[in-house]
Structure 1
Protein backbone atom coordinates (compact mmCIF):
# COMPACT_ATOMS: atom_id res chain seq x y z
CA UNK A 1 0.00 0.00 0.00
CA UNK A 2 1.36 3.40 -0.91
CA UNK A 3 1.62 6.10 1.78
CA UNK A 4 -1.16 8.09 0.08
CA UNK A 5 -3.59 5.17 -0.14
CA UNK A 6 -6.50 5.36 2.28
CA UNK A 7 -7.84 2.29 4.05
CA UNK A 8 -11.32 1.72 5.37
CA UNK A 9 -11.90 0.31 8.82
CA UNK A 10 -12.06 -3.48 8.86
CA UNK A 11 -14.74 -5.46 10.69
CA UNK A 12 -13.74 -9.12 11.14
CA UNK A 13 -16.71 -11.45 11.61
CA UNK A 14 -15.99 -15.09 12.53
CA UNK A 15 -18.02 -18.12 11.53
CA UNK A 16 -19.85 -20.71 13.58
CA UNK A 17 -18.55 -21.58 17.06
CA UNK A 18 -15.99 -18.78 16.93
CA UNK A 19 -15.43 -15.48 18.69
CA UNK A 20 -13.14 -12.49 18.19
CA UNK A 21 -10.24 -14.67 19.36
CA UNK A 22 -10.33 -16.51 16.03
CA UNK A 23 -8.83 -13.45 14.31
CA UNK A 24 -5.90 -12.92 16.71
CA UNK A 25 -3.21 -14.13 14.30
CA UNK A 26 -4.65 -12.19 11.37
CA UNK A 27 -4.80 -9.00 13.40
CA UNK A 28 -1.13 -9.38 14.28
CA UNK A 29 -0.30 -9.10 10.57
CA UNK A 30 -2.62 -6.20 9.74
CA UNK A 31 -1.01 -2.77 9.48
CA UNK A 32 -2.76 -1.00 12.33
CA UNK A 33 -0.90 2.23 11.51
CA UNK A 34 -3.18 2.71 8.51
CA UNK A 35 -6.11 0.45 9.38
CA UNK A 36 -8.49 0.09 12.28
CA UNK A 37 -9.52 -3.55 12.66
CA UNK A 38 -12.35 -4.67 14.92
CA UNK A 39 -12.85 -8.39 15.57
CA UNK A 40 -16.33 -9.41 16.73
CA UNK A 41 -17.80 -12.02 18.99
CA UNK A 42 -21.34 -12.25 17.69
CA UNK A 43 -24.32 -12.53 20.05
CA UNK A 44 -24.77 -16.16 20.97
CA UNK A 45 -21.05 -16.92 20.80
CA UNK A 46 -20.03 -15.42 24.13
CA UNK A 47 -19.62 -18.35 26.48
CA UNK A 48 -20.21 -16.11 29.49
CA UNK A 49 -23.65 -14.98 28.29
CA UNK A 50 -26.32 -17.03 30.12
CA UNK A 51 -28.88 -16.13 27.44
CA UNK A 52 -26.67 -16.88 24.46
CA UNK A 53 -28.76 -19.84 23.22
CA UNK A 54 -31.70 -17.47 22.59
CA UNK A 55 -29.81 -15.13 20.26
CA UNK A 56 -30.97 -14.74 16.66
CA UNK A 57 -29.65 -13.63 13.29
CA UNK A 58 -31.31 -10.29 13.96
CA UNK A 59 -29.23 -9.92 17.12
CA UNK A 60 -26.08 -10.77 15.18
CA UNK A 61 -26.85 -8.34 12.36
CA UNK A 62 -27.50 -5.62 14.94
CA UNK A 63 -24.12 -6.29 16.53
CA UNK A 64 -22.36 -5.92 13.18
CA UNK A 65 -24.18 -2.65 12.55
CA UNK A 66 -23.09 -1.46 16.00
CA UNK A 67 -19.49 -2.30 15.10
CA UNK A 68 -19.81 -0.35 11.87
CA UNK A 69 -21.02 2.59 13.91
CA UNK A 70 -18.11 2.27 16.34
CA UNK A 71 -15.75 2.24 13.38
CA UNK A 72 -17.26 5.47 12.08
CA UNK A 73 -18.62 3.89 8.91
CA UNK A 74 -20.74 6.18 6.76
CA UNK A 75 -21.65 6.67 3.11
CA UNK A 76 -18.61 8.93 2.78
CA UNK A 77 -16.36 6.62 4.83
CA UNK A 78 -17.57 3.02 4.38
CA UNK A 79 -15.89 0.07 6.09
CA UNK A 80 -14.65 -3.30 4.87
CA UNK A 81 -16.56 -6.32 6.15
CA UNK A 82 -14.69 -9.64 6.38
CA UNK A 83 -16.93 -12.67 6.86
CA UNK A 84 -15.79 -16.22 7.49
CA UNK A 85 -17.96 -19.24 6.79
CA UNK A 86 -21.29 -19.12 8.67
CA UNK A 87 -21.00 -15.39 9.25
CA UNK A 88 -22.41 -15.11 5.73
CA UNK A 89 -26.01 -15.03 7.00
CA UNK A 90 -25.81 -12.00 9.35
CA UNK A 91 -23.38 -10.19 7.06
CA UNK A 92 -25.74 -10.70 4.11
CA UNK A 93 -28.48 -9.09 6.21
CA UNK A 94 -26.27 -6.10 6.99
CA UNK A 95 -25.27 -5.57 3.37
CA UNK A 96 -28.93 -5.79 2.34
CA UNK A 97 -30.00 -3.16 4.88
CA UNK A 98 -27.05 -0.78 4.71
CA UNK A 99 -24.99 -1.31 1.54
CA UNK A 100 -23.86 2.33 1.72
CA UNK A 101 -21.82 1.55 4.86
CA UNK A 102 -19.72 -1.13 3.16
CA UNK A 103 -16.69 -0.33 1.00
CA UNK A 104 -16.13 -4.00 0.22
CA UNK A 105 -17.08 -7.38 1.62
CA UNK A 106 -14.40 -10.07 1.76
CA UNK A 107 -15.86 -13.55 2.03
CA UNK A 108 -13.36 -16.00 3.55
CA UNK A 109 -14.17 -19.50 2.27
CA UNK A 110 -17.74 -18.27 2.22
CA UNK A 111 -20.10 -16.17 0.14
CA UNK A 112 -23.37 -14.26 0.16
CA UNK A 113 -26.57 -16.16 0.83
CA UNK A 114 -29.77 -15.89 -1.18
CA UNK A 115 -33.03 -14.62 0.27
CA UNK A 116 -34.90 -17.40 2.04
CA UNK A 117 -31.75 -19.32 2.95
CA UNK A 118 -31.76 -21.29 6.20
CA UNK A 119 -28.56 -22.90 7.46
CA UNK A 120 -30.23 -25.87 9.17
CA UNK A 121 -33.91 -26.02 8.17
CA UNK A 122 -34.30 -29.52 9.60
CA UNK A 123 -32.88 -28.71 13.02
CA UNK A 124 -35.61 -29.68 15.53
CA UNK A 125 -37.13 -26.78 17.44
CA UNK A 126 -36.23 -28.38 20.75
CA UNK A 127 -32.50 -28.22 19.94
CA UNK A 128 -31.31 -25.11 21.77
CA UNK A 129 -27.75 -25.10 20.44
CA UNK A 130 -25.35 -26.98 18.20
CA UNK A 131 -21.97 -27.84 19.67
CA UNK A 132 -18.77 -28.14 17.66
CA UNK A 133 -18.81 -31.69 16.26
CA UNK A 134 -15.96 -34.16 16.76
CA UNK A 135 -13.18 -33.28 14.34
CA UNK A 136 -13.60 -36.56 12.48
CA UNK A 137 -17.17 -35.54 11.65
CA UNK A 138 -16.32 -31.87 11.08
CA UNK A 139 -13.61 -32.87 8.61
CA UNK A 140 -16.28 -34.57 6.50
CA UNK A 141 -18.04 -31.19 6.14
CA UNK A 142 -15.13 -28.74 5.91
CA UNK A 143 -11.43 -29.17 5.23
CA UNK A 144 -9.12 -29.16 8.27
CA UNK A 145 -6.05 -28.87 6.05
CA UNK A 146 -3.25 -26.82 7.56
CA UNK A 147 -4.43 -27.08 11.15
CA UNK A 148 -1.90 -28.51 13.60
CA UNK A 149 -2.92 -30.57 16.65
CA UNK A 150 -2.26 -27.47 18.75
CA UNK A 151 -4.60 -25.39 16.57
CA UNK A 152 -7.31 -28.02 16.82
CA UNK A 153 -6.88 -28.18 20.58
CA UNK A 154 -7.32 -24.39 20.80
CA UNK A 155 -10.35 -24.57 18.53
CA UNK A 156 -11.97 -27.18 20.78
CA UNK A 157 -11.12 -25.30 23.97
CA UNK A 158 -12.55 -21.97 22.80
CA UNK A 159 -15.50 -23.11 20.65
CA UNK A 160 -18.97 -22.08 21.82
CA UNK A 161 -22.13 -23.92 20.67
CA UNK A 162 -24.07 -22.15 17.92
CA UNK A 163 -27.54 -20.93 19.01
CA UNK A 164 -30.41 -22.90 17.52
CA UNK A 165 -32.42 -19.79 16.48
CA UNK A 166 -29.47 -18.59 14.38
CA UNK A 167 -29.38 -21.89 12.52
CA UNK A 168 -33.14 -22.07 11.93
CA UNK A 169 -33.90 -18.47 10.93
CA UNK A 170 -34.48 -17.64 7.27
CA UNK A 171 -32.49 -14.78 5.76
CA UNK A 172 -34.88 -12.30 4.17
CA UNK A 173 -33.27 -9.92 1.64
CA UNK A 174 -35.03 -7.20 -0.34
CA UNK A 175 -32.48 -4.58 -1.42
CA UNK A 176 -31.01 -5.04 -4.90
CA UNK A 177 -28.26 -2.54 -4.00
CA UNK A 178 -26.57 -5.27 -1.96
CA UNK A 179 -25.42 -6.77 -5.25
CA UNK A 180 -23.52 -3.60 -6.16
CA UNK A 181 -21.18 -3.74 -3.15
CA UNK A 182 -17.62 -4.60 -4.20
CA UNK A 183 -17.01 -8.22 -3.35
CA UNK A 184 -13.98 -10.47 -2.97
CA UNK A 185 -14.18 -14.23 -2.61
CA UNK A 186 -11.15 -15.75 -0.88
CA UNK A 187 -11.32 -19.37 -2.00
CA UNK A 188 -9.55 -21.82 0.30
CA UNK A 189 -11.02 -25.32 0.56
CA UNK A 190 -12.42 -24.99 -2.98
CA UNK A 191 -10.72 -23.31 -5.91
CA UNK A 192 -12.10 -20.14 -7.43
CA UNK A 193 -12.70 -22.03 -10.68
CA UNK A 194 -14.91 -24.53 -8.84
CA UNK A 195 -16.80 -21.79 -7.01
CA UNK A 196 -17.50 -19.82 -10.18
CA UNK A 197 -18.55 -22.95 -12.04
CA UNK A 198 -21.04 -23.80 -9.29
CA UNK A 199 -22.30 -20.20 -9.27
CA UNK A 200 -22.94 -20.31 -13.02
CA UNK A 201 -24.72 -23.64 -12.60
CA UNK A 202 -27.05 -22.13 -10.00
CA UNK A 203 -25.86 -24.26 -7.08
CA UNK A 204 -27.86 -23.09 -4.01
CA UNK A 205 -24.70 -22.42 -2.00
CA UNK A 206 -23.20 -20.11 -4.63
CA UNK A 207 -26.11 -18.93 -6.78
CA UNK A 208 -26.03 -15.44 -5.26
CA UNK A 209 -22.43 -14.99 -6.47
CA UNK A 210 -23.67 -15.00 -10.08
CA UNK A 211 -25.82 -11.93 -9.34
CA UNK A 212 -22.99 -9.71 -8.05
CA UNK A 213 -21.97 -6.73 -10.17
CA UNK A 214 -18.41 -6.26 -8.86
CA UNK A 215 -16.73 -9.48 -7.79
CA UNK A 216 -13.18 -10.75 -7.86
CA UNK A 217 -11.77 -14.06 -6.67
CA UNK A 218 -8.51 -14.95 -4.96
CA UNK A 219 -7.20 -18.47 -4.42
CA UNK A 220 -5.65 -19.13 -1.01
CA UNK A 221 -5.26 -22.91 -1.04
CA UNK A 222 -5.62 -24.33 2.48
CA UNK A 223 -8.41 -25.60 4.70
CA UNK A 224 -11.61 -23.92 5.81
CA UNK A 225 -9.92 -21.95 8.60
CA UNK A 226 -7.21 -19.88 6.85
CA UNK A 227 -7.08 -17.39 9.74
CA UNK A 228 -5.06 -20.07 11.52
CA UNK A 229 -3.40 -22.00 8.70
CA UNK A 230 -2.33 -18.96 6.60
CA UNK A 231 -2.90 -15.85 8.75
CA UNK A 232 -0.22 -13.66 7.19
CA UNK A 233 -1.39 -14.33 3.64
CA UNK A 234 -5.01 -13.73 4.61
CA UNK A 235 -4.10 -10.49 6.38
CA UNK A 236 -2.28 -9.24 3.28
CA UNK A 237 -5.35 -9.93 1.15
CA UNK A 238 -7.66 -8.18 3.60
CA UNK A 239 -5.30 -5.21 3.90
CA UNK A 240 -5.10 -4.74 0.16
CA UNK A 241 -8.87 -5.00 -0.29
CA UNK A 242 -9.48 -2.44 2.44
CA UNK A 243 -7.44 0.11 0.52
CA UNK A 244 -9.62 2.83 -1.00
CA UNK A 245 -7.25 3.02 -3.98
CA UNK A 246 -7.83 -0.65 -4.80
Structure 2
Protein backbone atom coordinates (compact mmCIF):
# COMPACT_ATOMS: atom_id res chain seq x y z
CA UNK A 1 0.00 0.00 0.00
CA UNK A 2 1.25 3.46 -0.91
CA UNK A 3 0.40 6.73 0.78
CA UNK A 4 -0.34 9.55 -1.64
CA UNK A 5 0.17 13.15 -0.51
CA UNK A 6 -1.56 15.37 -3.07
CA UNK A 7 -0.73 19.07 -3.43
CA UNK A 8 -2.58 21.15 -6.03
CA UNK A 9 -1.26 24.22 -7.81
CA UNK A 10 -1.43 27.93 -7.06
CA UNK A 11 -4.62 29.28 -5.50
CA UNK A 12 -6.02 25.80 -4.87
CA UNK A 13 -6.55 23.71 -1.74
CA UNK A 14 -7.07 20.04 -0.92
CA UNK A 15 -10.59 20.24 -2.37
CA UNK A 16 -9.12 20.23 -5.88
CA UNK A 17 -8.46 16.49 -5.54
CA UNK A 18 -12.01 15.52 -4.53
CA UNK A 19 -12.67 13.52 -7.71
CA UNK A 20 -9.28 11.79 -7.68
CA UNK A 21 -9.25 10.66 -4.03
CA UNK A 22 -12.02 8.03 -4.26
CA UNK A 23 -10.22 6.13 -7.04
CA UNK A 24 -7.00 5.92 -5.02
CA UNK A 25 -8.82 4.85 -1.86
CA UNK A 26 -10.80 2.23 -3.76
CA UNK A 27 -7.50 0.64 -4.75
CA UNK A 28 -6.57 0.33 -1.07
CA UNK A 29 -4.07 3.16 -0.73
CA UNK A 30 -3.78 5.94 1.82
CA UNK A 31 -4.64 9.37 0.45
CA UNK A 32 -3.75 12.71 2.04
CA UNK A 33 -4.79 15.76 0.01
CA UNK A 34 -3.02 18.77 1.47
CA UNK A 35 -3.90 22.45 1.61
CA UNK A 36 -0.71 24.54 1.86
CA UNK A 37 -0.56 27.41 4.35
CA UNK A 38 -2.30 30.61 3.31
CA UNK A 39 -4.79 28.97 0.94
CA UNK A 40 -8.43 27.78 1.07
CA UNK A 41 -9.31 26.92 4.69
CA UNK A 42 -5.81 28.05 5.75
CA UNK A 43 -6.22 31.62 4.51
CA UNK A 44 -4.58 34.14 6.80
CA UNK A 45 -1.66 31.86 7.71
CA UNK A 46 1.58 33.60 6.68
CA UNK A 47 3.49 31.57 4.09
CA UNK A 48 6.73 31.66 2.15
CA UNK A 49 8.00 28.93 -0.13
CA UNK A 50 9.76 27.07 2.67
CA UNK A 51 6.51 27.15 4.65
CA UNK A 52 4.91 25.11 1.89
CA UNK A 53 7.85 22.70 1.82
CA UNK A 54 7.53 22.25 5.57
CA UNK A 55 3.75 21.77 5.29
CA UNK A 56 4.42 18.68 3.16
CA UNK A 57 7.21 17.30 5.34
CA UNK A 58 5.09 17.86 8.47
CA UNK A 59 2.15 15.97 6.95
CA UNK A 60 4.32 12.96 6.20
CA UNK A 61 5.84 12.98 9.67
CA UNK A 62 2.63 13.77 11.56
CA UNK A 63 0.81 10.89 9.88
CA UNK A 64 3.92 8.69 10.20
CA UNK A 65 3.62 7.78 6.53
CA UNK A 66 5.81 5.27 4.73
CA UNK A 67 5.92 4.35 1.03
CA UNK A 68 5.01 7.95 0.29
CA UNK A 69 4.18 9.16 -3.21
CA UNK A 70 4.34 12.96 -3.28
CA UNK A 71 2.19 14.48 -6.02
CA UNK A 72 2.68 18.12 -7.02
CA UNK A 73 0.56 19.93 -9.59
CA UNK A 74 1.61 23.14 -11.36
CA UNK A 75 3.25 25.54 -8.85
CA UNK A 76 3.31 22.84 -6.17
CA UNK A 77 5.95 20.87 -8.03
CA UNK A 78 8.33 23.46 -6.53
CA UNK A 79 7.69 22.65 -2.83
CA UNK A 80 7.01 18.96 -3.53
CA UNK A 81 10.37 18.56 -5.27
CA UNK A 82 12.12 20.06 -2.27
CA UNK A 83 10.12 18.09 0.29
CA UNK A 84 10.86 14.84 -1.53
CA UNK A 85 14.53 14.88 -0.60
CA UNK A 86 13.71 15.78 3.01
CA UNK A 87 11.45 12.85 3.83
CA UNK A 88 14.28 10.39 3.32
CA UNK A 89 13.52 6.69 3.16
CA UNK A 90 9.81 7.34 3.60
CA UNK A 91 9.68 8.31 -0.09
CA UNK A 92 8.51 5.81 -2.71
CA UNK A 93 8.31 8.30 -5.56
CA UNK A 94 7.33 11.73 -6.83
CA UNK A 95 4.77 12.62 -9.48
CA UNK A 96 4.93 16.05 -11.09
CA UNK A 97 1.55 16.82 -12.69
CA UNK A 98 2.17 19.32 -15.51
CA UNK A 99 4.18 21.19 -12.93
CA UNK A 100 7.11 23.46 -12.43
CA UNK A 101 10.22 21.81 -11.02
CA UNK A 102 12.55 23.41 -8.48
CA UNK A 103 16.07 24.55 -9.25
CA UNK A 104 18.38 25.36 -6.37
CA UNK A 105 18.52 29.11 -5.73
CA UNK A 106 15.77 29.88 -8.25
CA UNK A 107 12.19 31.07 -7.54
CA UNK A 108 9.04 29.81 -9.23
CA UNK A 109 8.80 32.96 -11.36
CA UNK A 110 12.32 32.59 -12.80
CA UNK A 111 11.06 30.18 -15.46
CA UNK A 112 8.47 32.64 -16.78
CA UNK A 113 9.26 34.24 -20.17
CA UNK A 114 9.60 37.71 -18.63
CA UNK A 115 11.47 36.44 -15.59
CA UNK A 116 8.39 36.98 -13.47
CA UNK A 117 8.14 40.74 -13.91
CA UNK A 118 4.38 40.71 -14.43
CA UNK A 119 3.73 38.25 -11.59
CA UNK A 120 5.86 40.30 -9.19
CA UNK A 121 4.02 43.47 -10.23
CA UNK A 122 0.67 41.77 -9.70
CA UNK A 123 1.72 40.60 -6.25
CA UNK A 124 2.88 44.10 -5.33
CA UNK A 125 -0.40 45.59 -6.50
CA UNK A 126 -2.49 43.08 -4.55
CA UNK A 127 -1.15 43.31 -1.04
CA UNK A 128 1.44 40.57 -1.37
CA UNK A 129 -0.85 38.03 -3.04
CA UNK A 130 -1.22 36.65 -6.56
CA UNK A 131 -4.89 37.30 -7.29
CA UNK A 132 -7.41 34.68 -8.36
CA UNK A 133 -7.45 34.05 -12.12
CA UNK A 134 -10.55 34.92 -14.17
CA UNK A 135 -12.63 32.22 -15.87
CA UNK A 136 -11.02 33.01 -19.23
CA UNK A 137 -7.69 31.73 -17.86
CA UNK A 138 -9.06 28.18 -17.82
CA UNK A 139 -10.54 28.09 -21.31
CA UNK A 140 -9.01 25.72 -23.84
CA UNK A 141 -8.01 23.15 -21.21
CA UNK A 142 -10.72 20.54 -21.71
CA UNK A 143 -12.85 21.87 -18.87
CA UNK A 144 -16.61 22.33 -18.87
CA UNK A 145 -18.14 25.68 -17.92
CA UNK A 146 -19.25 24.07 -14.67
CA UNK A 147 -15.74 22.86 -13.88
CA UNK A 148 -14.28 26.29 -14.62
CA UNK A 149 -16.86 27.93 -12.37
CA UNK A 150 -15.97 25.48 -9.60
CA UNK A 151 -12.26 26.23 -9.87
CA UNK A 152 -12.81 30.00 -9.86
CA UNK A 153 -15.27 29.76 -6.97
CA UNK A 154 -12.90 27.66 -4.86
CA UNK A 155 -9.71 29.58 -5.61
CA UNK A 156 -8.11 31.95 -3.13
CA UNK A 157 -5.36 34.56 -3.61
CA UNK A 158 -1.95 32.91 -3.46
CA UNK A 159 0.76 34.07 -0.99
CA UNK A 160 3.22 35.96 -3.16
CA UNK A 161 6.38 35.07 -1.25
CA UNK A 162 5.97 31.41 -2.18
CA UNK A 163 6.40 32.40 -5.83
CA UNK A 164 9.36 34.75 -5.46
CA UNK A 165 11.54 33.05 -2.83
CA UNK A 166 14.29 30.70 -4.06
CA UNK A 167 14.14 26.92 -3.89
CA UNK A 168 16.66 25.06 -1.74
CA UNK A 169 17.91 21.68 -2.98
CA UNK A 170 20.70 19.67 -1.40
CA UNK A 171 20.92 17.01 -4.14
CA UNK A 172 20.23 16.87 -7.87
CA UNK A 173 16.54 16.59 -8.64
CA UNK A 174 17.42 13.98 -11.27
CA UNK A 175 18.25 11.52 -8.47
CA UNK A 176 14.61 11.34 -7.35
CA UNK A 177 12.41 8.45 -8.53
CA UNK A 178 10.02 10.61 -10.52
CA UNK A 179 7.19 10.54 -13.04
CA UNK A 180 6.41 13.67 -15.01
CA UNK A 181 2.88 13.95 -16.40
CA UNK A 182 2.70 16.31 -19.36
CA UNK A 183 -0.75 17.57 -20.22
CA UNK A 184 -0.49 18.13 -23.95
CA UNK A 185 -3.61 20.12 -24.80
CA UNK A 186 -2.40 23.48 -26.04
CA UNK A 187 1.19 22.97 -24.88
CA UNK A 188 2.45 19.55 -26.00
CA UNK A 189 6.15 19.75 -25.12
CA UNK A 190 7.79 19.68 -21.68
CA UNK A 191 9.75 22.76 -20.71
CA UNK A 192 13.51 22.75 -21.22
CA UNK A 193 14.28 22.18 -17.53
CA UNK A 194 11.97 19.16 -17.44
CA UNK A 195 13.42 17.79 -20.69
CA UNK A 196 16.89 17.81 -19.13
CA UNK A 197 15.61 15.90 -16.10
CA UNK A 198 13.92 13.29 -18.27
CA UNK A 199 17.34 12.14 -19.47
CA UNK A 200 17.82 10.63 -16.00
CA UNK A 201 17.22 6.89 -15.62
CA UNK A 202 15.13 7.71 -12.55
CA UNK A 203 12.59 9.84 -14.45
CA UNK A 204 9.85 8.88 -16.89
CA UNK A 205 7.39 10.87 -18.96
CA UNK A 206 3.66 10.18 -19.32
CA UNK A 207 1.40 12.27 -21.53
CA UNK A 208 -2.26 13.09 -20.94
CA UNK A 209 -4.42 14.42 -23.75
CA UNK A 210 -6.01 17.12 -21.67
CA UNK A 211 -5.29 20.57 -20.27
CA UNK A 212 -3.43 21.87 -17.24
CA UNK A 213 -6.01 20.84 -14.62
CA UNK A 214 -6.44 17.07 -15.13
CA UNK A 215 -7.81 16.50 -11.62
CA UNK A 216 -10.95 18.21 -12.92
CA UNK A 217 -10.95 17.32 -16.62
CA UNK A 218 -9.80 13.68 -16.36
CA UNK A 219 -9.78 12.63 -12.68
CA UNK A 220 -10.22 8.90 -13.31
CA UNK A 221 -7.42 8.81 -15.88
CA UNK A 222 -5.13 10.83 -13.62
CA UNK A 223 -5.85 8.51 -10.69
CA UNK A 224 -4.98 5.49 -12.83
CA UNK A 225 -1.63 7.00 -13.76
CA UNK A 226 -0.93 7.67 -10.07
CA UNK A 227 -1.83 4.06 -9.26
CA UNK A 228 0.44 2.81 -12.02
CA UNK A 229 3.42 4.61 -10.49
CA UNK A 230 3.44 2.11 -7.64
CA UNK A 231 1.33 -0.73 -9.02
CA UNK A 232 -1.95 -1.83 -7.58
| Aligned residues of 1:112 and 1:208 also touching (Cα < 8 A) | no
Q: Does 1:180 align with 2:169?
A: no
Bigger drift between 59-68 and 118-127 goes to 118-127
Q: Does 1:14 align with 2:8?
A: yes
Aligned length: 221
Q: Does 1:156 align with 2:168?
A: no
1:232 to 194, 203, 220: 220
CA distance in 2, matches of 1:180, 1:135: 38
CA distance in 2, matches of 1:47, 1:17: 11
| Aligned residues of 2:40 and 2:155 also touching (Cα < 8 A) | no
Where 1:30 maps in the other structure, the secondary structure is: helix
Q: Does 1:49 align with 2:38?
A: no
Q: Could you tell me which residue of structure 2 aligns to residue 109 of structure 1?
A: 98
Q: Displacement, 1:111?
A: 4.7
Q: Does 1:31 align with 2:25?
A: yes
CA distance in 1, matches of 2:72, 2:158: 16
| Aligned residues of 2:184 and 2:209 also touching (Cα < 8 A) | yes
Alignment of 1:216-227 (within 5 A): 216-227=204-215
Residue by residue, what CA displacement relative to the aligned partner does 1:87-144 show, whole Å, maximum 9, x if unpaired?
A: 01111211233343321111111252221221234314744101122233x25xxx64
CA distance in 2, matches of 1:149, 1:175: 42
Q: Displacement, 1:180?
A: 2.3
Bigger drift between 89-98 and 100-109 goes to 89-98
Q: Displacement, 1:189?
A: 3.0
| Aligned residues of 1:191 and 1:221 also touching (Cα < 8 A) | no
CA distance in 2, matches of 1:160, 1:166: 14
Alpha-carbon RMSD across the aligned residues, in angstroms, is 2.4
Q: Could you tell me which residue of structure 2 aligns to residue 3 of structure 1?
A: none
| Aligned residues of 1:97 and 1:175 also touching (Cα < 8 A) | no
Change (3 A) 1:189 1:71: farther
Structure 1 residues without counterparts, runs of 5 or longer: 1-6
Runs of 4+ in 1 over 4 A off after TM superposition: 190-193
Residue by residue, what CA displacement relative to the aligned partner does 1:15-37 show, whole Å, maximum 9, x if unpaired?
A: 10100000000012223452000
